[in-house]
Amino acid sequence: MSEDYDVHIIGGGLAGSEAAWQLARRGFKVRLSEMRGSGDTTPAHQTDGLAELVCSNSFRSDDAENNAVGLLHQEMRSLGSLVMAAAEIAKVPAGSALAVDRDLFSETVTKELENIGNIDIVRERIDEIPADVPVIIATGPLTATNLANNIMAKTGEDRLAFFDAIAPIVYHDSIDLDVAWYASRWDKGDGKDYINCPMDEAQYRAFHQALLDAEKTEFKEWEMNTPYFEGCMPIEVMAARGLDTLRFGPMKPVGLDNPKTGRWMHAVVQLRQDNKQGTLWNMVGFQTKMKHAAQVELFRTIPGLEKAEFARLGGLHRNTFIRSPILLDRQLRLKTAPNIRFAGQITGCEGYVESNAVGLMAGLMTAADLGGTRIEQPPSTTALGALLGHITGDAHADDYQPMNVNFGLFAPLEEKTHKKQRKAAITARARADLAEWIGRYKLAI
């Protein structure tokens, strides 16, 4: 083992940053390697900040009573999550969701990791997995080619990739609020969390056809057979599935009364606040692989966005993950090389919150190993336990695909419960079981 550090973490995204925090605050020395800032970058990142958010600025629902991801938020807070604390500092209005100013969020995480004292943040690209020290690989969906090849060699896998797409961001002062209006679906939030751009049937049909006809990014030869993740499907791919697919997805009008008519429109494009100042708004669900010029031309046909100026246009990037259910043990360790743990999206979880949760657990489990003890996974009745169980053995390996946390992953309730009380019963059980688990392993700091 190196005399300079106890653990080598590769990747300074959400999972790597959280794992480093959990280890450092328990007294262990960490080398955190991040290739951004060393002269290398990825197709999607724009800065060298740690925990940079490259797709949405939303951590999704913060409702711990009725939503599995909201419950996961609460569970991570109870374990002293750095990412959840930073999200609270950088929070922007988003109804019942937790959304952040992405620059302030990354700056907060970076500053905390720099100041904690026993984390050495090294701007370097790692091409081979170290063999003589505990390692956490948290390189996320954009793992560099050389390291991805090294991972494939270690795991015996021949393919680790699928595609993920990024949504555009619009400057607020370029949105026509004489046409668009502020409102959250079903009037949740404070009434100004989303901007809604209405479409009648003729406008929607024209927009749908234009999506199908727009010029798309061409695939490279090695990308041809890479599938999409269903939860981050490019809007034009959704459009190709049928005329009304978008109206039941990101453009659904239900719960949004147009103040000019008092009725629901045929379709609605929603924008969500992207920074604290409210100057940037992202197009919800509008991740795309259209070419930039085609995006500008088409999105300016949306009512209210005729003069839209874009801070960022949509893009396409490769995602990378391993077949965790057969490769990892219940401790997130590579079965063939137990000194190596995987964390974050590379394990096949999907979403910022899930990535961070797996990083948190990788940090806690590694800290236990270094301290000569062992932490079992949280119970499958909790959000953390349900997510980890799915990743490390409960999912079908042959068709393993990225998964967001959801109540379907939780252990079923033992007692019969009315449908309306089911979520409340699941969350009450989860809180009690996680509190017992935290107490058993003395994880509260």
Express each pLDDT in 20-74 by its tens digit. 999 999 999 999 999 887 767 666 566 778 999 987 899 999 999 999 999 999 9
Domain residue limits, the chain: 7-160+321-441, 165-318
Domain 7-160+321-441: CATH superfamily, name plus number: FAD/NAD(P)-binding domain (3.50.50.60)
pTM of the model: 0.76
Residue 176 burial (CB count, 10 A): 13
What's domain 165-318's architecture? Beta Barrel (2.40)
Question: How much is the pLDDT for 39?
Answer: 66
Angle made by CA atoms 163, 168, 169, in degrees to the nearest 5: 145
pLDDT in tens, 203-233: 999 999 999 999 876 655 444 555 666 666 7
- Sequence-distant (6+) residues with CB within 8 A of 442 are none
Distance CA 399, CA 392 (A): 14
Residue 249 assigned to a binding site: no
Q: Which among 19, 7, 12 has a CA at the least distance from the CA of 358? A: 19
Query: Same fold for the domain at 7-160+321-441 and the one at 165-318?
Result: no
The predicted pLDDT at position 144 comes to 75
339 burial level (CB within 10 Å; 0-12, 13-18, 19+): middle
Q: Which helix (H) or strand (E) holds 68?
A: helix 68-78
Q: What is the structure's pLDDT at 41?
A: 66
Whether 395 has a pLDDT exceeding 90, the answer reads no
Q: Which 3 state secondary structure label does DSSP give 161?
A: strand
3 state DSSP class of 249: coil
Confidence grade of residue 315 (pLDDT, cut at 50, 70, 90): confident
| 37 annotated to bind ligand | no
Give pLDDT tens digits for 110-134: 999 999 989 999 999 999 999 889 9
Per residue in 150-191, pLDDT (tens digit) is 888 888 876 676 666 678 989 999 999 999 999 988 877 677
Residue 332 DSSP label = S
Question: Look-up: residue for tokens 């793992």?
Answer: 143
Q: Is 189 annotated as a binding residue?
A: no
Task: Give per-residue pLDDT as tens, 327-368.
Answer: 999 999 999 899 999 999 999 888 899 999 999 999 999 999
Residue 12 known to bind ligand: yes
Helix, coil or strand: residue 218: coil
